[in-house]
Structure 1
Amino acid sequence: MNTPSNDALAWVAGSDAPEKNVLDVGFMALTDCASLVVAATQGFAQPYGLTLNLKRQSSWANLRDKLVSGELDAAHSLYGLIYAVQLGISGNTATDMAVLMGMNQNGQSINLSRALQDANVTTPEALERHAHQSRTQLTFAQTFPTGTHAMWLYYWLASQGVHPLNDVNSVVVPPSQMVAHLQAGRIDGFCVGEPWCASAVHQGLGFTVATTQAIWPDHPEKVLGCTREFVEQNPNTARALVMAVLEASRFIEQNQENRRSTAQLLSGRDYLDTPAACIEPRLLGEYEDGLGNQWHDHHAVRFHHGGEVNWPWLSDGMWFMTQFRRWGLLREDPDYLAVARHVQQLELYTQAANALGIAVPASAMRSSQLIDGKIWDGSDPAGYARSFSLHARADSTPLHASR
């Protein structure tokens, strides 16, 4: 563990001391909660005057409700969950939300069932043919109607010519229940975070057909989220929390041994409660897909990468809103940039990063090329949302996002 610098500790003294010292922080049983678990258990929070009580949640909807009600102070959260609550398309009412920092990039996958594998539906092309020729629609699971997994699944299917709203069924399943649903034959495939994709492969229950980093290299994934009210009432606490999680994120990536020890920590009953053998390989970037292919993924899960992962890019938040618009979750274009500026806590993050000597990018926008060749840079979000050949019909019933 690194010892915080004097500059960093200056934030927790005197008038900058945390307004609240004990925080209840929610998480889901996923590998990408790692920096929160490390911050809470390996001595990264205490120097900043914080005690983090980690609260594992049973579903993203449950986490959302507790975050909005104040039962949780902050949480490991889906990017799309925070923005859906902000826009009033998830939960009972719109609530002002905040993204304190990014927690990770990459590291999710799309898996298909053993039944499809046995039927030689093992490529995107074979899946596209099957989806359009089979009399029975395939059923795919994702973890939350506006979440990252839903958006990756929809984007990938559409890029292969499969309409995610018309050609297949989409259902919501909590992450830790995905493997059981696949084994029971209730679903034909899923998009979820690790270790559940690796676990399904490990158990011979199917194969990984695509990683999400193949859809969008270094894509945004989980964030450290809270309500805007929490930030406004506890700015010093929020900044201290960011600093503790930043330190933990940097620690995990210092060397492979830290990643291995993190996998072992996460395997515990209080966190992922699954064998380290299902966590460690993909945490290290070592993949096997269940079809006999093995590779080292150069865009595997990242927690820090010099701060690039953690910077709350405005363009990342805006992208999720373009997909809400594309798939009918939003009937009209929001003011994409204004909403993102309201949610992303750039100033607070900058203060925390500067105190830790972590570089802050010169711009809050970044440019990426996705699997279908489209470039996303945040410059024309409304045009981007309208640019897709596969989308929800303008007269269709909006997707239900309140589950």
Structure 2
Amino acid sequence: MNSTNIHNIEHNKRNISLGFMPLTDCAPLVIAHELGFFESQGLNVTLKKQYSWATMRDKLHAGVLDAAQFLAPMPIASTLGLSGPAVNVIAPMVLSQNGNGITISMALYEEIKFVHQRHHIDLPISAALLKPVIEARKKASKQTDTKLRFATVYPHSCHYYQLLTWFEQNGVNKDDVDIVIIPPASMVEALQSDDIDGFCVGGPWNAKAVRDGVGVTGATSCDIWPDMPEKVLAMKQSWQEQHPETTKALIIALQQACDWLATVANRFEAARILSRHTYLDLHLSVIAPSLIGSCLVHHQLSPRHIPSYNRFALDGNDTINKPELFHGEWLLSQMVKHQHIPAEVKLEALIDSVFRQDIYQQAFAEHDAFATPTKVTPLKSTKMVP
């Protein structure tokens, strides 16, 4: 594949600040940087690690970040001014599908087994098993607040809506459960200290809870919403309009990275890279499982085989990376359903303006189909700013 026209890039922007969250599915950004895909498109990208989605959002809105890895519903929320000022943020590319898990504490797991008189619990775990626990706690609530408490990472996230779907599909009233917002990297500590009874988060935090013996991963996004967008490339619409060629170059480089991640062997190599201090700074044993289709469940049980646990691309000519309008409409329907969007807001043409498949398609309009590397290539030195 030919590089984006360098002459055009010179009239746009070469030096890019790109925000990412230290999660397993930041892999496309890290691989595009480490394997030189950004550089081959004439870009000098600095990856900037963030620790909360609200901080990532605020820095993108303020122009501190040129572009960022976002949760799929976040550009919709930004554009509508949910949880902050309205800023027109677009998503011209999907970076990944799936990747989340619902993990409960060992104490809750044992309580469920005791209440139901079971030696083991079938997987995926049904939220219906929580109902007698919830009822027992209701009876004790006169003395203290004993509601089950679950955490997600951001109010307008697939995690939040997947958790509510898990409850709803199994007859659990969301009003009987407290839901709090905690940054991804703080989830395991909160579970271990009994501040929460469970969480919905992306990797590697579910696997770490299992490896540490403090949690049981009972369900994944593949069980609840299979193959829906999870992370997207996000930028302000005004920034894209000022730098259209730079945007195309970013998309092309990230597509190369996503396609490189289509094979399991490459994803294992990606796990090794992600384990570095500059990225996730965690052991390979908690990063690699979801990337190779293995869902750790319990420290004494065999993993579940979930081939699409983390999905970045498809083999063949089909793509998951174009931001499909029906996916955006599905996410919007969840936001409406759970009353995150005021009834008076006009939603006509909103998804067309946010999920910009036209920009994605334009990025490849002038280029022939390219062959994705199938072998691990020599790595570039890392340039990363905290």
Cα offsets for 1:320-345 (capped at 9, x unmatched):
22112111211216554500100112
TM-score, length-normalised on structure 2? 0.86
For structure 1, the 5+ residue unaligned runs are 359-403
Match of 1:191 among 200, 214, 222: 200
Match of 1:130 among 127, 130, 133: 133
More displaced, 114-123 or 67-76?
114-123
- C-alpha deviation, 1:139, in angstroms: 0.4
| 1:102 corresponds to 2:94 | yes
Give the secondary-structure state (helix, strand or coil) at the position aligned to 2:96: coil
Distance 2:186 2:254 in 1: 27
More displaced, 327-336 or 181-190?
327-336
Distance 2:94 2:189 in 1: 30
One-letter amino acid of the counterpart of residue 37, structure 1:
V
Cross-structure match for 2:276? 268
Give the secondary-structure state (helix, strand or coil) at the position aligned to 1:105: strand
For structure 2, the 5+ residue unaligned runs are 114-120, 139-145, 371-386
Distance 2:343 2:99 in 1: 31
Would you say the 8 A contact 1:250–1:304 is kept in 2?
A: yes
Distance 1:190 1:270 in 2: 25
One-letter amino acid of the counterpart of residue 204, structure 1:
G
1:171-250 → structure 2 map (5 Å cutoff): 171-250=180-259
Give the secondary-structure state (helix, strand or coil) at the position aligned to 1:305: coil
Cross-structure match for 1:367? none
| 1:83 corresponds to 2:91 | no
Match of 2:39 among 28, 46, 54: 46
Number of residues paired by the alignment? 349
- C-alpha deviation, 1:287, in angstroms: 2.1
More displaced, 124-133 or 192-201?
124-133
- C-alpha deviation, 1:297, in angstroms: 1.0
Cα offsets for 1:211-265 (capped at 9, x unmatched):
1111011111000111101111100001100000000111111x32211110000
Cross-structure match for 1:163? 173
- C-alpha deviation, 1:157, in angstroms: 1.1
Match of 1:144 among 122, 130, 154: 154
Match of 1:120 among 112, 123, 128: 112
One-letter amino acid of the counterpart of residue 276, structure 1:
L
Cα offsets for 1:275-319 (capped at 9, x unmatched):
011011111001231162433213321101155321101111122
Cross-structure match for 1:59? 52
Give the secondary-structure state (helix, strand or coil) at the position aligned to 1:134: helix
One-letter amino acid of the counterpart of residue 350, structure 2:
V
Distance 2:100 2:158 in 1: 9
| 1:34 corresponds to 2:27 | yes
Give the secondary-structure state (helix, strand or coil) at the position aligned to 1:223: strand
Distance 1:338 1:192 in 2: 30
Cross-structure match for 1:316? 327
Distance 1:14 1:147 in 2: 39
Would you say the 8 A contact 2:104–2:199 is kept in 1?
A: yes
| 1:325 corresponds to 2:336 | yes
Distance 1:107 1:95 in 2: 27
Distance 2:368 2:29 in 1: 17
One-letter amino acid of the counterpart of residue 266, structure 2:
N
One-letter amino acid of the counterpart of residue 147, structure 2:
Q
Would you say the 8 A contact 2:153–2:182 is kept in 1?
A: yes
Cross-structure match for 2:380? none
Distance 2:220 2:132 in 1: 21
Match of 1:285 among 290, 293, 297: 293
**Relative to 1, partners in 2 of residues 1:337 and 1:289: Cα closer, same or farther, differing over 3 Å?**
farther
Would you say the 8 A contact 1:243–1:353 is kept in 2?
A: yes
Distance 1:252 1:148 in 2: 22
Cross-structure match for 1:379? none
One-letter amino acid of the counterpart of residue 362, structure 2:
Q
Cα offsets for 1:6-50 (capped at 9, x unmatched):
3xx2x3233465600010000111001000011112110111110
Give the secondary-structure state (helix, strand or coil) at the position aligned to 1:162: coil
Cross-structure match for 1:363? none
TM-score, length-normalised on structure 1? 0.83
- C-alpha deviation, 1:356, in angstroms: 5.2
One-letter amino acid of the counterpart of residue 94, structure 2:
G
1:282-361 → structure 2 map (5 Å cutoff): 282-290=290-298, 292-306=301-315, 308-332=319-343, 334-336=345-347, 338-354=349-365, 355=367, 357=369
Distance 1:300 1:162 in 2: 25
Cα offsets for 1:330-373 (capped at 9, x unmatched):
12165545001001121210022442527xxxxxxxxxxxxxxx
Distance 1:23 1:234 in 2: 11
**Relative to 1, partners in 2 of residues 1:18 and 1:12: Cα closer, same or farther, differing over 3 Å?**
farther
Distance 2:329 2:185 in 1: 28
Give the secondary-structure state (helix, strand or coil) at the position aligned to 1:120: helix
Distance 2:7 2:296 in 1: 52
Distance 1:257 1:15 in 2: 36
Distance 1:34 1:344 in 2: 21
**Relative to 1, partners in 2 of residues 1:313 and 1:59: Cα closer, same or farther, differing over 3 Å?**
same
Would you say the 8 A contact 1:106–1:300 is kept in 2?
A: yes
Distance 1:305 1:356 in 2: 18
One-letter amino acid of the counterpart of residue 346, structure 1:
Q
More displaced, 290-299 or 255-264?
290-299
Cross-structure match for 1:252? 261
Distance 2:250 2:79 in 1: 22
